[in-house]
Structure 1
Amino acid sequence: MADVMEVGCIGCGGRGRVYSSGLAKLPGFRMRGYADARIEAAKAFQEAYGGDYATPELDRVLEDPRIGAVLICTYHDTHAPLAIKAAQQGKHILLEKPMALTIEECKAIEQAVEKAGVRMALGFKMRFMPVITKVKEKIGTPMMMVGQMMDRRWADTNWAQQPKIGGGNVISQGCHTTNILTYFAGADPVSVYAEGGTMTHTGTDIIDNVVATVRYRNGVVAGMIQGDAGLNPYVSKFFFELFGRDGRGAGLYNRCHEAVLWGADVDRIGPEHLTPEENEDIEGDRGLLRHFAECVKANRPTLVGPREGRIATTIVVKLFESVRTGKPQAIAV
């Protein structure tokens, strides 16, 4: 492997900016090309983060033989074709969440990545948030837990709210919730039952708010509340609560920047308990990028790879089926 890996970014929006700016600072990586249908956005990225070209042609980045890794930060409906082609071109992939909008697309990406022998990480930054990982260390495997991610009402014009290209809030943000619940559970999901529907939007069939129960293979049970009916300022947009078998537990609040614990050897984890480096990365973005870079260089699987991406999407797709049918749905992963 070359001493310096050149990287391309496809999709020069908010998440593309986070990933491009972060990777440009990591030793052993160099941004080379940027692709976006809005050529002015691609040019702005090149000016900000360096590189050799900006283009409206996505295939120029995908087919560039000098590029060894790509950042895919496009509309959700494009994730599968772009990630599959990137894998076929032998490129490592950092793919923004959700992995895809359907289970079938997720499986196709996973198969392409495995066949090509490349490394993939999903944009599950929460998996690297320092307070989340410290709570997992203190509590271990819980008996029961709750994961809540409730947002202010999304605009009807928001691209991610569109059924075909974004899929709506519950899959766009809910994949974060399902990924972290699965991380805390330490096992694969086996079933989900959900109630909800189209509650905050009109003129669409998107399920925009849900309450679900997810059961895991090891017996852990999780409640999940997801949608855009409003943001509770008391606990914040991100809120998780864990109840352990031995009386230990934790509640994570303030975007999971803080946690209260009981039955553990500490009763609180907050910014004052973190190192300066952890506080600088309290949202987990840098940890995600460092992990991806290390796994690419060492040629080892990531902790947020295609299987984890597929499971996160599968739970959401199955809870949609549960809402529509009124029946629990089995999950086979």
Structure 2
Amino acid sequence: MPPAINIGIIGCGEMGEIHARCLKEIGTATIRGLCDTDEARARKLLAYSPDAYVCSNPERLLRDDSIDAVYVCTHNDSHAQLGIAAARAGKHVMMEKPVAISLRECEDLQNAVEHSGIHFMTAFKLRFYPSVQKVREFMPSPLMCIAQMTDERWPDSFWANDPVRGGGNVISQGCHAADLMCYLLESEPVKVYAAGGNYHHPGLDITDALTATITFASGVTGSLAVGDIGLTPYVSKLSFQVMDGTRSAHLYDRLKQVSMWDGKHEEHYTDSEELGFLLENREFLEVVRRKAQPSATLRHGIRATVLLLRAIESMKTGQPQSVQF
């Protein structure tokens, strides 16, 4: 039997609890430590691992030699700092998106991880949906992707809309859409031209809606729309279409459904539930066990953040921006 994997969770809110629930369901790892600035919130997660200890300072988890890996599920502005500290402590990392909210943070985090020897996984759960894998098998070389991730209006008081703690919807949530577009097109973004702005959060210094045209290194193109600008009733928050000149595929209903057209016949696939969280956790535990590279790396996390930051810069300047990272 392989040795047990000990996990520490930093940030015990909604995302921390989702990961704790997945770890309990998988059953091949032990949550040893739970950390949150609000210890009462951390104690609620003892339901998933009664023998874990609770603390309010991440340093306790990072100094614990028995912990192999940490999950970073805190507010966005602390991600890079905690990722750097975890890398220096020799802990493997599963980090919720976005991995950073500024170019400087991306660079500092990348340097720390590269010099540490740890394995770092970005929690891009959308890649792991069975429907997405179906599309990748059906169409390995798309020529175009039309991607939408539009949500209901987020309250001004929601922490992810705070310009410092969260960065707003486009930064906080849009990285999921940016990554999945790159993943489906299997190419690197090289140029972006965008428009958008702050349409309905006038008291906040954020971008709440953005549309972007993206050129990729292989010559393919993508159209991206993100924001808390309104939830569409049929396709849901998530809609991704890909085409290759003959065939097409449409992922919708929070990616639980996909329709694929080969030019003559339509094939439909449905997942009964959203499996992304569970499947990404299974992979991360294998990454830690085997000391292997994850499929969703830190580089992919940085790529998504840089793409959105460059898109916002294009929106502000009215000029296309090079995507370099």
Of residues 306, 314, 320 in structure 1, which corresponds to 2:298? 306
Shift of 1:44: 1.2
Task: For 1:261 and 1:26, locate their aligned partners in 2 and report how far apart those are by CA, in whole Å.
Answer: 31
Letter in 2 for 1:61: L
- Equivalent position of 2:317 in the other structure: 325
Residues 1:255 and 2:254 aligned together: yes
Q: Is the CA contact 2:131–2:269 (under 8 Å) kept in the aligned structure 1? A: yes
Which residues in structure 2 correspond to 1:278-297 (within 5 Å)? 279=272, 282-297=274-289
TM score, norm. by length of structure 2 = 0.96
- Equivalent position of 1:81 in the other structure: 81
Task: For 2:31 and 2:137, locate their aligned partners in 1 and report how far apart those are by CA, in whole Å.
Answer: 35
Shift of 1:24: 3.0
Aligned CA-pair RMSD: 1.6
Q: Is the CA contact 2:187–2:217 (under 8 Å) kept in the aligned structure 1? A: yes
Q: Is the CA contact 2:20–2:48 (under 8 Å) kept in the aligned structure 1? A: no
Which residues in structure 2 correspond to 1:22-41 (within 5 Å)? 22-41=22-41
Task: For 1:231 and 1:52, locate their aligned partners in 2 and report how far apart those are by CA, in whole Å.
Answer: 39
Q: Is the CA contact 1:138–1:264 (under 8 Å) kept in the aligned structure 2? A: no
Shift of 1:26: 3.1
Task: For 2:209 and 2:268, locate their aligned partners in 1 and report how far apart those are by CA, in whole Å.
Answer: 30
- Equivalent position of 1:267 in the other structure: 266
Task: For 2:33 and 2:158, locate their aligned partners in 1 and report how far apart those are by CA, in whole Å.
Answer: 27
Shift of 1:27: 4.5
Task: For 1:177 and 1:326, locate their aligned partners in 2 and report how far apart those are by CA, in whole Å.
Answer: 22
Shift of 1:51: 3.1
Letter in 2 for 1:248: R
Which residues in structure 2 correspond to 1:103-252 (within 5 Å)? 103-245=103-245, 247-252=246-251
Task: For 1:117 and 1:220, locate their aligned partners in 2 and report how far apart those are by CA, in whole Å.
Answer: 34
Shift of 1:270: 2.2
Task: For 2:121 and 2:268, locate their aligned partners in 1 and report how far apart those are by CA, in whole Å.
Answer: 27
Q: Is the CA contact 1:147–1:239 (under 8 Å) kept in the aligned structure 2? A: yes
- Equivalent position of 1:11 in the other structure: 11
Q: 1:220-252 deviations in whole A, cap 9, x for unaligned?
A: 10000111111110111000111113x011111
Q: Is the CA contact 1:128–1:284 (under 8 Å) kept in the aligned structure 2? A: yes
Specify every segment of 5 or more residues in structure 2 that has no aligned partner in the other structure, as ranges.
none
Shift of 1:5: 1.5
Q: Is the CA contact 1:69–1:91 (under 8 Å) kept in the aligned structure 2? A: yes
Task: For 2:323 and 2:52, locate their aligned partners in 1 and report how far apart those are by CA, in whole Å.
Answer: 45
Q: Is the partner of 1:147 in helix, strand or coil? A: strand
Letter in 2 for 1:65: D
Task: For 1:51 and 1:169, locate their aligned partners in 2 and report how far apart those are by CA, in whole Å.
Answer: 36
Q: Mark the CA change 1:111 to 1:24 in structure 2 (over 3 Å): closer, same or farther.
A: farther
Q: Is the partner of 1:49 in helix, strand or coil? A: coil
Q: Is the CA contact 1:10–1:70 (under 8 Å) kept in the aligned structure 2? A: yes
Q: 1:265-316 deviations in whole A, cap 9, x for unaligned?
A: 8623322xx6xxxx45x34111100111111111111111110000010110
Where has structure 1 moved over 6 Å in runs of 4 or more? none
Task: For 2:252 and 2:259, locate their aligned partners in 1 and report how far apart those are by CA, in whole Å.
Answer: 8
Q: Is the CA contact 1:32–1:50 (under 8 Å) kept in the aligned structure 2? A: no
Q: Is the partner of 2:68 in helix, strand or coil? A: strand
Q: Is the CA contact 2:156–2:204 (under 8 Å) kept in the aligned structure 1? A: no
Q: Is the partner of 2:82 in helix, strand or coil? A: helix
Specify every segment of 5 or more residues in structure 1 that has no aligned partner in the other structure, as ranges.
none
Q: Is the partner of 1:24 in helix, strand or coil? A: helix
Q: Percent identity?
A: 37
Q: Is the CA contact 1:258–1:268 (under 8 Å) kept in the aligned structure 2? A: no
Q: Is the CA contact 2:100–2:305 (under 8 Å) kept in the aligned structure 1? A: yes
Task: For 1:284 and 1:2, locate their aligned partners in 2 and report how far apart those are by CA, in whole Å.
Answer: 25
Q: Is the CA contact 1:94–1:122 (under 8 Å) kept in the aligned structure 2? A: yes
Q: Mark the CA change 1:265 to 1:94 in structure 2 (over 3 Å): closer, same or farther.
A: farther
Task: For 1:3 and 1:52, locate their aligned partners in 2 and report how far apart those are by CA, in whole Å.
Answer: 18
